[in-house]
Amino acid sequence: MRTGRLARVAPSDLRGAARSVISRAVPSYITPEGFERLREEADRLWRIERPRVTREVAEAAALGDRSENAEYIYGKRRLREIDARLRFLAKRMDDLTVVRATPEQRGRVFFGAFVALEEEDGARRELRLVGPDESEPGAGRVSIESPLGRALVGKHAGDEVRVRRPKGELRARIVSIRYEDGASGR
């Protein structure tokens, strides 16, 4: 299985990517941690899950009539699902560009930044700008291609952001910006 490219990407490149809605002409970015999660999933499927299901299918096949053997039929279906996911992960990982923070990003919001926001009601939350493959808003990982992600890109600590959402407009102030290496922008 090949791995994604490692790149030093200029902040201006990332801002352009954030404004485009998933366009295949624009490279797909991912954090090193996100890429590692995809690699671990592929590794787990290949080394643990697939061999286990293969053994179960072989045992079910040894029982005789395969046409009415639910364990055999389910096992074969599960193997196809695992193989499809492995093909997807291999292709996706090859297409991704792993982005690490660079010193010139300090003090501004770009891909991979941890951003502390204070909303109008005083509620504070921290989120991280990530690629669409690792986005999980409930866990504080917001896609750079989302409306909030696009609104944050290029901003400084102290700037206000406004984002229209179905449940009303979000107005928040950027309290702090930091990157995985500890570089911050307060």
Q: Which of 123, 114, 117, 119 is nearest to 175 (CA)?
A: 117
Query: What is the span of the domain harbouring residue 115?
Result: 103-185
Residues 22, 54: one domain? yes
Query: Last residue of some domain: 99, 114, 136?
Result: 99
d(CA 51, CA 162): 50
Q: Is the pLDDT of residue 72 over 80?
A: yes
Residues 119, 68: one domain? no
Residues 49, 115: one domain? no
Number of residues written out for the chain: 186
pLDDT band at 182 (very low <50, low <70, confident <90, very high): very low
pLDDT band at 125 (very low <50, low <70, confident <90, very high): very high
Q: Is the pLDDT of residue 166 over 90?
A: no
pLDDT, residue 180, reads 80
Residues 73, 29: one domain? yes
pLDDT, residue 43, reads 97
Residues 71, 113: one domain? no
The CATH code of the domain that includes 123 is: 3.10.50.30
Residues 156, 76: one domain? no
pLDDT, residue 4, reads 53
Residues 90, 132: one domain? no
Which H, E and C letters describe the chain, residue by residue?
CCCCEEECCCHHHHHHHHHCCCCCCCCEEECHHHHHHHHHHHHHHHHHHHHHHHHHHHHHHCCCCCCCCHHHHHHHHHHHHHHHHHHHHHHHHHHEEEECCCHHHCCECCCCCEEEEEECCCCEEEEEEECCCCCEHHHCEEECCCHHHHHHCCCECCCEEEECCCCCCEEEEEEEEECCCCCEEC
Tell me what the mean pLDDT of segment 52-77 comes to. Answer: 89
**Longest Cα separation, the chain:** 70
Number of domains composing the chain: 2
Residues 148, 180: one domain? yes
Q: Is the pLDDT of residue 74 over 70?
A: yes
Residues 95, 109: one domain? no
Q: Is the pLDDT of residue 186 over 80?
A: no
Residues 109, 176: one domain? yes
The CATH code of the domain that includes 21 is: 1.10.287.180
pLDDT, residue 23, reads 43
172 touches 161 (CB < 8 A): yes
Residues 82, 109: one domain? no
1-14 tens-digit pLDDT: 445 554 444 444 54
pLDDT, residue 17, reads 45
pLDDT, residue 160, reads 94
pLDDT, residue 37, reads 94
Percent of the chain predicted with pLDDT > 70: 83
d(CA 165, CA 171): 11
d(CA 178, CA 127): 11
| pTM score of the predicted model | 0.72
| 49 against 16, higher pLDDT | 49
89-119 tens-digit pLDDT: 999 999 999 988 777 777 899 999 999 999 9
